[in-house]
């Protein structure tokens, strides 16, 4: 197996990118530029390793969700290369983020979706987050309440509303993800939302919505008239 440096110049990923632009490279060639080197045996180049990873995981989206240990199961990929791959996809997530910044107004459920989708759509555990808002629905603070299977024991009103009182929030918005990718609300989702809404009414904090994030889509309980 020839090394990439021994390939014709118009076949080397870096030279192709410099000559024609990144859009001309295949997925494997782009990933090879991150991996940089082969497996050290001389049998597999960086492009070969990239092709093997994409074949193993099926797509960039699935590859982005892979853990370090899962990446290292691919022959030729060690902790250093796995870390570089994860760093690449984290940069992509942050670039694609459209987060609300403190002081910006919350206007619709789509704002919550855009704020969280890139961070949560590939997350393998359920994460429950609260956005604390002022009297004009401007963001005060984002607070992670819990991580794990969503149930009443880990989403306790005390943990949810203590930060709201501390920040003098006038309203609160709940967001969590479904690792399955299907944002359809479960009975538990509905029960917890109703319980938190009742507590909010007693404490004078408006519960605006509960947005459930899936892969590329979301459900707003407020939009569906379920809140």
pLDDT in tens, 49-68: 999 999 999 988 889 888 89
Model pLDDT, residue 19: 87
Residue 8's pLDDT is 57
Q: What is the dihedral of CA 78, 81, 87, 92, to 10 degrees?
A: -120
Q: Are 202 and 164 in contact (CB under 8 A)?
A: no
Q: In this predicted model, which residue has the larger pLDDT, 154 or 190?
A: 190
- Taking only the tens place, the pLDDT of each residue in 4-24 is 665 755 668 888 899 889 988
- Asked whether residue 77 carries a pLDDT value surpassing 90, the answer given is yes
Q: What is the mean pLDDT of the chain?
A: 87
What per-residue confidence (pLDDT) applies to 167? 93
Identify the pLDDT of residue 227. Answer: 86
Q: Quick one: pLDDT band at residue 170, thresholds 50, 70, 90?
A: very high
Q: How confident is the model at residue 5, as a pLDDT?
A: 60
pLDDT band (50, 70, 90) for residue 183: very high
Q: What's the rounded mean pLDDT across residues 153-159?
A: 76
pLDDT-derived band at 153, boundaries 50, 70, 90: very low
Q: Flag whether pLDDT at 95 surpasses 80.
A: no
The stretch 118-133 carries a mean pLDDT of 87
Label residue 119 by pLDDT band (50, 70, 90). Answer: confident
**Is the pLDDT score of 154 beyond 50?**
yes
Domains and CATH numbers, the chain: 4-96 (1.10.150.20), 109-220 (3.40.140.10)
Q: What per-residue confidence (pLDDT) applies to 150?
A: 56
For the beta carbon of residue 204, count every other beta carbon within 10 angstroms: 9
The two structure tokens encoding residue 29: 């060639």
What percentage of the chain carries pLDDT values higher than 70? 89
Cβ count within 10 A of residue 86: 16
């Amino acid at each position: 197996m020839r090394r990439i440096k021994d390939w014709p110049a118009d076949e080397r990923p870096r030279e192709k990118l410099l000559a024609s632009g990144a859009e001309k490279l295949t997925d494997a060639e782009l990933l090879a530029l991150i991996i940089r080197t082969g497996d050290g045996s001389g049998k597999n180049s960086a492009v070969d390793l990239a092709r093997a990873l994409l074949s193993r995981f099926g797509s960039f989206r699935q590859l982005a969700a892979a853990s370090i240990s899962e990446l290292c199961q691919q022959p030729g990929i060690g902790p250093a290369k796995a870390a570089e791959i994860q760093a690449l996809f984290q940069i992509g997530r942050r670039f694609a983020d459209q987060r609300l910044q403190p002081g910006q107004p919350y206007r619709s459920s789509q704002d919550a979706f855009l704020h969280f989708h890139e961070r949560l759509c590939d997350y393998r555990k359920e994460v429950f987050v609260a956005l604390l808002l002022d009297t004009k629905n401007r963001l005060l603070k984002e607070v992670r309440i819990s991580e794990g299977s969503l149930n009443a024991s880990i989403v306790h009103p005390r943990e949810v509303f203590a930060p709201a009182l501390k920040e003098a929030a006038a309203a609160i918005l709940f967001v969590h993800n479904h690792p399955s990718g299907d944002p359809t609300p479960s009975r538990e989702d509905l029960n917890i939302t109703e319980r938190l809404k009742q507590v909010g009414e007693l404490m004078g904090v408006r519960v605006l919505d509960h947005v459930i994030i899936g892969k590329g889509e979301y459900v707003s309980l407020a939009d569906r008239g379920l809140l």
